Chains A and B, each alone.
Chain A
Amino acid sequence: MIVLSSTWRDSKRHLFKFSQEMSRAGSRLDSKKVNSELFTLTYGALVAQLLKDYENIDDVNKQLERMGYNMGIRLIEDFLARTGSGRCYDFRDTAEKIQTGFKIFLGITPTITNWSTAGDEFSLCFESNPLTEFVELPDHCLNLKYCNILTGVLRGACEMVQMEVASWFVQDQLKNDSVTELRVKFIKRLEDAIPAGED
């Protein structure tokens, strides 16, 4: 799994380490560090390609979410194996674990704020976001949710641990807000599968 390190000045060293470690990939199991620029630009290329493939921006948002979902259902296993964490006691616990997830996989620590009174909704605020470095939205793309892949990742990962959540962006630095705010809402607990009966 690729882990991002966002320090600029270390970029050369990291790129070197990256190529070095790729050459012996498989023999090492610890996490490989990679420079975030490489990741930023690869993600940019993906979004650009989707914009070419779909005429409708809403379709692009939907595809990003779907891809994120497919990543999330696998990424959760990596997260669990790495942190050894158990099931969540409550949604606050979940929020902290999601925060840890961002730390591990994107090298950033979003702040958890704006809890709803019922305790089933919170916001993740990103001051910096490796996905959107070097990105500017052109005028015809104002509907584009550039980071929509993250909402899919959260949905997929939480579904695998028996939780249905929904998330959406309420503020976006790309749309001239001061922070990027991702709202996460708990919907319901999913039940354990019962074994198939005798036919």
Chain B
Amino acid sequence: MTIHNLYIFSRNGTLLYYSEWNRLNKSGITMEEEAKLMYGMLFSIKSFVSKISPLDPKEGFLYYKTSKYTLHYLETPSGLKFVLNTDNGAQNIRGLLQQLYSQVYLEYVVKNPLCQLNEPIQSELFKQKVDALIKHSQYF
């Protein structure tokens, strides 16, 4: 199993953090453009899902899958967005995303007064902890 890469967006669409572990195909555009493209797509999927759903879309958009990879999506009620690409074998990755939120983002960004909440995350400690969590997960 493989985890490809991770994006974290703030509630206003700023790319707070990006990290990749196993990405074979480069997008060929700058990170800035790529982040915009990604956020725009997520935004569209979200509104698509909430409009088209025949029932009350409780949690909304959860993931999508192509023939090669799966994109997992977690949005907190405060608008923070976690996006993780894995291969198709990984199932039920929500727990991992929740952990990323409650054990890494909360502990090392929210509780660090030197980290501004709407700016890209610079903290080395945060980077290490994300890396450790992902590498030790069973999906890596």
Residues of A with Cβ closer than 8 Å to B? 1, 29, 73-74, 76-78, 80-82, 84-87, 160-162, 192-196, 198
Question: Least Cβ distance of B119 to chain A in Å?
Answer: 14
Flag if B12 contacts A85 (CB, 8 Å). Answer: no
Check: B101 CB closer than 8 A to any chain A CB. Answer: yes
Count the B residues whose beta carbon is within 8 Å of the partner chain — how many? 24
Extra contacts, 16 of them, besides A82-B102, A161-B77 (Cβ < 8 A), are A29-B103, A73-B117, A74-B117, A77-B110, A78-B106, A78-B111, A80-B78, A81-B102, A84-B98, A85-B77, A86-B58, A86-B59, A194-B43, A195-B13, A195-B36, A198-B36
User: In the bound complex, do residue A160 and residue B101 qualify as a contact, i.e. CB atoms below 8 Å apart?
Assistant: no
Q: Is the CB of A80 within 8 A of B110?
A: no
Contact B101 A195 (CB under 8 A): no
Asked if B40 lies at the interface with its beta carbon under 8 angstroms from chain A, I say: yes
B106 contacts across to A, CB distance below 8 A? 77-78, 81
Q: Chain A residues near B43 (CB, 8 Å)?
A: 194-195
Question: Does B127 belong to the interface (CB within 8 Å)?
Answer: no
Contact of B78 among A29, A77, A84, A198 (CB under 8 A): A77
A193-B110 in contact (CB<8A): no
**Given the complex of chains A and B, what is the CA–CA distance between A1 and B59 in angstroms?**
28
Q: Kindly state the separation between the CA atoms of A198 and B79 in the bound complex, as whole angstroms.
A: 22
Q: Which residues of B contact A29 (CB under 8 A)?
A: 102-103, 107
Residue in A81, A162, A196 whose beta carbon sits within 8 Å of that of B101 in the complex: A81
User: How near does chain A come to B109, taking the closest CB pair, in angstroms?
Assistant: 9
Contacts of A81 in B (CB 8 A): 101-102, 106
Q: DSSP majority for the A interface?
A: loop
**24 intermolecular pairs with C-beta atoms under 8 Å apart:** A29-B102, A29-B107, A74-B111, A77-B76, A77-B78, A77-B105, A80-B77, A81-B102, A81-B106, A84-B98, A85-B77, A86-B59, A160-B11, A161-B77, A162-B79, A192-B79, A193-B79, A194-B43, A195-B13, A195-B39, A195-B40, A195-B43, A196-B36, A198-B36
Contacts of B39 in A (CB 8 A): 195
Contacts of A87 in B (CB 8 A): 77
Q: Which residues of A contact B11 (CB under 8 A)?
A: 160, 193
A80 near B79: Cβ-Cβ < 8 Å: no
A29-B103, A73-B117, A81-B106 given as contacts; is B78 within 8 A of A196 (CB)? Answer: no
Contact across chains for B13 and A196 when beta carbons are under 8 A apart: yes
* Among B80, B102, B105, residue most surrounded by chain A Cβ atoms (within 10 Å): B102
Q: Which residues of A contact B117 (CB under 8 A)?
A: 73-74
Instruction: Kindly provide the distance from the CB of B43 to the nearest chain A CB, expressed in whole angstroms.
Output: 5
Q: With a CB–CB cut-off of 8 A, which chain B residues contact A78?
A: 106, 110-111
Distance (whole angstroms) from the CB of A84 to the closest CB of chain B: 8
Query: Which residues of chain A have C-beta atoms less than 8 A from B58's C-beta?
Result: 86
Within 8 A of A (CB), among B40-61: 40, 43, 58-59
Choice from B77, B79, B101 contacting A86 with Cβ under 8 Å? B77
A85 closest partner in B (C-beta) = B77
